[in-house]
Every structure is written in structure tokens, then in C-alpha cells.
Amino acid sequence: MIMFQNDYVEGAHPAVLKKLVDTNMEQSVGYGEDPYCEKARARIREAIGREDADVHFLVGGTQTNLTVISAALRPHQGALCAETGHIHVHETGSVEACGHKVLAMPGQEGKITAKQVNKAYESHWTDGAREHMVQPKLVYISHPTELGTLYTKQELMDLRNVCDACGLYLFLDGARLAYGLAADGTDVTLHDLAVLTDAFYIGGTKVGALFGECVVINHPAMKEDFRYLMKQKGGMLAKGRLLGLQFQAMFENDLYMEMGRHADRLAMKLKKGLLEKGYHFYIDSITNQQFVIVEDQKLQELEQQFVFNHEMRYDENHMVIRICTSWATKEENLEKLLAAF
């Protein structure tokens, strides 16, 4: 079986793994205070163009989201997000377990707009009974979204502006960031994110690391004591250097972007091929996640050889499946897949 159901079925990019192997028997201090983490931090700060950012390494996405949101909010405050947002749907209520309501809003192909945020803010603050409601204080967006779509630079600037006007934090979940930044058609760069968000993270788990997410914090209030929260939430790795080493490798020789480009190129090849064969897509994505509408019998046939994610039933005899490429996808496997369709 060839697996296309997600972008974390393999281990790490060889260059990343090599770093771990090469340094394996070295000794270093723990908890992210080692020289490798320091170097990785320096490299990340350079890559994002912001010397004043705080850079932390955590193990996984759910942990990262809950720690950042905990660091930002007081007990009566909540996080605005799209109804498809990962924190709302697929993290077993981890934000609520930290005491905060996720304030879900209808998304447009996984995205929310500055206008929606403004409306939520206005509607809260003009309500005489607002003290009886959760106060919106943070905007959570994913880029790429859970549906593979991307914000434009203008959309992000609009969100930034509305957050500034309303005193809200803007937090961007970049679990698949490379696949967004490398997409042919995006105008959003890493520098933009560092300027436009209060915090964001650069996903490693889904882009070439064994595991690991790199949080960049720009807002002073969220920076304060962040490491205490990492420890409390179980997100401070004892052998922290493992994270530093991996991010160091990924931000060497343009590797992070290269991995993104590889996955996106194959995704576009798949898309083009399927469109030519007359297939329809549930959503128009230019990143590594492709949502294809497939007739049930055809799907059954394909699933003799390939594994996909079933997203949702499209109609009585069609299913929407998710096909993910990744840094690790072999071109020959993608060609086999195209041929099988």
C-alpha cells in the first residue's frame, strides 16, 4: 500500500536525521538551552527577519496551540477561529481543557475574514450582557488551512489591522507552513508572517522533521514566562537539542522551502492530471492537500493500492477524499497514483 492519507507517514528528511545521528553521543544541557537550539533560534530569527522575536521549540501541534493560547488569554477570554479550525475540531477540546472557549465562526474554504473578526468584536462589545459572554481576545488562523487554502497577504494585513484596532492577538498555526510558503501563487512570505502576527509556528512534524514545531512570538505580553507554560503543559522536551538540531537542519541550504516546493509541485502535477481526466475537486487548493471527488466504486478500486483520507460524503455515490503529498512523496508513486485514477 502506498500512503497518501497525510503528510506524516514517513520519518525525517535524511539531512535532518543525519544531524541527530551525528551528534547522538555528544553531551548537552537540557530543556532547549543547549547550543544547537541557540543556533537554530538564530537561524530562524534570520529567516523571518526579526531579531526581537522569541523562538521556542515544542514537540507537536496540539501542544503548541494550547500552550500559546494559554499564554495569551485570561480565563474569561476565548479564541475566534473558523469552524474548520484544528483547535475547534481535532484537538479533543485541548483549548477548553485549559479553560478557554473556542469561538467558532463559519469559514470561507477554511478561512475567516477581517470583517468577520470585526463583527464578532463589535457584537461582543456593544452587547449590554457582554459580561455574560466569553470575550474574544485572540484570532486563530491556519495557513495553509485545514482545507489546503491560503490567505493572501492582503487578507493577513486586514486581519492584522482589525486585531490592532480591537486589541486582539493574531496567532497563526503553521503546521504545514512550508507547503503554504512554497505554493506557486502565494504572495505571503515568512517575513510577512513575522510582521503580521503576534505569534505563529513553523511546522516541522509535517515537513521533514521526526517531530517538532517552532513557535515564534512577537508580542511582548505573550513572550513573558512562556517557558514556564511549556513546562507546565508537558511541552518542554528534556533533550531539547533534538528539536534545535532538526530546525537547524531544516533552515540550512533552503531545505525547508525546498521540501515545501517538492510537495507542492507533485500536488499540482496530480491536480493537473486529475482535471485532465475529468475529476472534480471539492476545493481549489494550491498546496499539498488535494480534495478530490471520487465515485465510490472507483475509490474502492484505488484503495486496493493506495491509502487516502475520507473527508466526507459528497453525494449518494461520491466521496471527497484527501490526497496529501509531502517532502517525502516519491514522484514514481505519484505517477502510479495518477495512472490508477
Three-class SS state of 199: strand
Spatial distance between the Cα atoms of 69 and 130, rounded to a whole number of angstroms: 21
Query: Of the two residues 21 and 340, which places its CB atom closer to a copy of itself in the complex?
Result: 21
Assess 21 for contact with a copy of itself (CB under 8 A): yes
Site for a copy of itself in 103-162 (CB under 8 A): 129, 131-135
Query: Of the two residues 87 and 181, which places its CB atom closer to a copy of itself in the complex?
Result: 87
Spatial distance between the Cα atoms of 233 and 202, rounded to a whole number of angstroms: 19
Assess 288 for contact with a copy of itself (CB under 8 A): no
User: Which of 60, 109, 296, 335: binder of a copy of itself (CB under 8 A)?
Assistant: 60
Assess 210 for contact with a copy of itself (CB under 8 A): yes
Site for a copy of itself in 228-267 (CB under 8 A): 228-239, 242
Assess 99 for contact with a copy of itself (CB under 8 A): yes
User: Which of 15, 23, 39, 45: binder of a copy of itself (CB under 8 A)?
Assistant: 23
Query: Of the two residues 25 and 339, which places its CB atom closer to a copy of itself in the complex?
Result: 25
Q: Which stretches within the chain are classed as H helix?
A: 14-22, 35-48, 61-72, 86-89, 94-97, 114-125, 153-166, 177-181, 190-196, 220-223, 226-232, 241-250, 255-276, 296-302, 331-340
As beta bridge partners, residue 139 has 80, 170
Query: Of the two residues 21 and 275, which places its CB atom closer to a copy of itself in the complex?
Result: 21
Spatial distance between the Cα atoms of 212 and 210, rounded to a whole number of angstroms: 7
User: Which of 48, 66, 188, 216: binder of a copy of itself (CB under 8 A)?
Assistant: 66
Query: Of the two residues 127 and 164, which places its CB atom closer to a copy of itself in the complex?
Result: 127
Assess 56 for contact with a copy of itself (CB under 8 A): no
For the record, the C-alpha cell of 307 comes out as 491509502
Asked if residue 251 lies in contact with residue 202, where contact means CB atoms within 8 angstroms, the answer is: no
Spatial distance between the Cα atoms of 324 and 148, rounded to a whole number of angstroms: 10
Minimum distance of a copy of itself from residue 170's CB (angstroms): 20
User: Which of 17, 195, 283, 293: binder of a copy of itself (CB under 8 A)?
Assistant: 17
User: Which of 40, 54, 56, 94: binder of a copy of itself (CB under 8 A)?
Assistant: 94
As beta bridge partners, residue 145 has none
